[in-house]
Amino acid sequence: MGERKVTVAAEVGLHARPAATFVKRAQLAPMDISVAKAGGGGAPVNGKSILAIMALDVRQGETVVISAEGDGSEEILDELATIAGAP
């Protein structure tokens, strides 16, 4: 299973527009994608669900762990990490 740890840089955190962009890209992936706050911030949530991502309440400066497994997962994880880490 591949994973990426990303510090969220956007002022609004992983909410609203950044979350929508993240989920739209994740939904195109053929595999399951999970997102969790780093450091034991709760159970991983479905990375393809806007409500689940919003419920994580990820704020600017917090780190998330994005996980996926399957063919092409490394490329998708790179793209999602770029989206989550964008200012």
Active site residue 15: yes
CA–CA distance, 55 with 60 (Å, rounded to integer): 15
Comparing C-alpha atoms, which of 33, 43, 40 is closest to residue 81? 33
The distance of Cα 21 from the centroid of its chain, to the nearest Å, equals 10
Q: Which of 6, 10, 14, 15 is catalytic?
A: 15
Nearest to 72 by CA among 35, 20, 32, 45: 32
What amino acid positions are annotated as catalytic residues? Answer: 15
